[in-house]
Amino acid sequence: MNTLAKQDRWLLIGFTLAILAGPILLKPFGAGYPDLLQKFCIFGIFAVGYNILFGLTGYLSFGHAAFLGIGSYTAVWSFKLLTMNVLPAIILSVLMTAVFGLVIGFLCLRRSGIYFSILTLAFAQMAYNLAYSVLTPITNGETGLQLVKGDPHVLDRWFGVPIVDGIPSTNFFGISMVGYSGFYFCAALLIISFYVAMRLTRSPFGLMLKAIKSNQNRLKYTGVNTRSYALIAFVISGCYAGLAGALLAVTDPLAGADRMHWSASGEVVLMTILGGVGTLLGPVIGAGVIKYLENIFSSFNEQILNGVFGFLPDALQHPVVKFVGLFVGEGWELTLGVLFLVLIIFVPGGLMQGFQSLQRRVFPTQPTPAADATRGAH
């Protein structure tokens, strides 16, 4: 099991190239700037991790944003207290979320189905509400935790890193995490995360998780302790979320409690579903689509629309602009909602299944077994 199957290797290579070439590929779509590309990568990691739990084991967690928030807070504290180097921040965040994941997962996984979802939701909302109220000394409440002048940076002092006047920026052994270097750092981590998720999915462990999804009872009857498998999956996906949270702090050292709100948990569910549950590539694509809508569609205004539809006769232009205006700018979430409804109704397997069936229609070869399996499930 030390080598990847042939098609997986090609998938990984293609994925790596696509991510690294992101700035060039996405330029025509107006998304070729590092701020947004970073977000694609970070939320890609979040969604890939979420998919390990939801896609493989079928446990629908509504509280994953809590791990995102915990990761961010840990990272910012590491910047404040230890060093501006991002490596310790990331390691500490992942460890911290692993601990929280272990505790929360242990409690939540005692129930399944919707009871599990509500338990995770309850824990996340508790974290969110406490971050705003009692834990203000740790989280800095509504203002959000941020770097200030005079933070100790203990490790930086020990190793004699020159202290800059004012607020220092995050770095990776001297490489500043601003602009494209920040993006490539996130991209590298996304590729590593993707590789790990791929190995995990193809391993016997991943097979066990899939067995939990398809029939947990039968698995129990054969003497397998399913809960410990599910718990490991929960912790791993929590760590992914923690990593994503840490990266959010790396690219912008500010952690706010709104990252833990249940709507953020809902967003990652949408990403995973939109792309395709249980597929490797799907969650990344879903994350990209949603972040693209959020950042690009929301910036369209009437002027731009008038420019786009300028070729239409005036009588037609006005109503068309009005109608399209509903879906962009402030109303980008309407596009998301409609897209989501259409996908769930017509292509339950998400964008990935859509691509596959399109591919089959264009190049009618023998059907792939994986696609048949998803179709058979519904």
Closest CA to 68 of 248, 254, 285, 290: 248
Give, as one character, the DSSP assignment of residue 364: -
Q: Which amino acid is at 233?
A: A
Closest CB to other proteins among residues 58, 288: 58
Q: How far is the CB of 155 from other proteins (least distance, A)?
A: 32
- By CB under 8 A, tell whether 106 contacts other proteins: no
- Among 119, 244, 287, 352, the residue binding other proteins under the rule CB under 8 A is 119
- Among 17, 87, 154, 341, the residue binding other proteins under the rule CB under 8 A is 341
- Among 344, 358, 370, 373, the residue binding other proteins under the rule CB under 8 A is 344
Cα separations in angstroms, 79 against 41, 155, 378? 21, 10, 48
Pairwise CA distance, residues 132 & 324, whole Å: 38
Residues in CB range of 31: below 8 A, 6 or more apart: 37, 40, 292, 295, 296
The count of chain residues that interact with other proteins, using the rule CB under 8 A, is: 44
Closest CB to other proteins among residues 17, 373: 373
- DSSP line for 123-179: HHHHHHHHHHTTTHHHH-TTT-EE--TT---HHHHHTTPPPPSSPPPPEETTEE-ST
Q: How far is the CB of 130 from other proteins (least distance, A)?
A: 6
How many angstroms from the chain centroid is the CA of residue 183?
Answer: 15
- By CB under 8 A, tell whether 326 contacts other proteins: yes
Contact 69, 261 (CB under 8 A): no
Give, as one character, the DSSP assignment of residue 255: E
Contact 91, 250 (CB under 8 A): no
Beta pairing class for 171-172 and 145-146:
unpaired
- By CB under 8 A, tell whether 111 contacts other proteins: yes
Q: Which x/- pattern over 50-89 shows residues binding other proteins (rule: CB under 8 A)?
A: --------x-x-----------------------------
Q: How far is the CB of 265 from other proteins (least distance, A)?
A: 10
- Among 21, 114, 138, 304, the residue binding other proteins under the rule CB under 8 A is 114
- By CB under 8 A, tell whether 244 contacts other proteins: no
Residue with tokens 């310790």: 88
Q: Which amino acid is at 312?
A: L
- By CB under 8 A, tell whether 161 contacts other proteins: no
* Size of the chain, expressed as the number of residues it contains: 378
How many angstroms from the chain centroid is the CA of residue 213?
Answer: 21
Closest CB to other proteins among residues 107, 154: 107
Pairwise CA distance, residues 145 & 29, whole Å: 34
Closest CB to other proteins among residues 69, 168: 69
- DSSP line for 54-108: IIII----S-THHHHHHHHHHHHHHHHHT-SBHHHHHHHHHHHHHHHHHHHHHHH
Binders of other proteins among residues 260 to 319 (CB under 8 A) are 262-263, 266, 269-270, 273
Q: How far is the CB of 322 from other proteins (least distance, A)?
A: 11
Binders of other proteins among residues 213 to 232 (CB under 8 A) are 216-217
- By CB under 8 A, tell whether 125 contacts other proteins: yes
- By CB under 8 A, tell whether 330 contacts other proteins: yes
Stretch that binds other proteins, among 70-78, 113-121, 177-185, 308-316 (CB under 8 A): 113-121
Q: How far is the CB of 214 from other proteins (least distance, A)?
A: 11
Q: Which x/- pattern over 129-158 shows residues binding other proteins (rule: CB under 8 A)?
A: xx-xxxx-----------------------
- Which residues in this chain contact other proteins in the complex, by CB under 8 A? 58, 60, 107, 110-115, 118-119, 121-123, 125-126, 129-130, 132-135, 216-217, 262-263, 266, 269-270, 273, 326, 330-331, 333-334, 336-338, 340-341, 344-345, 348, 378
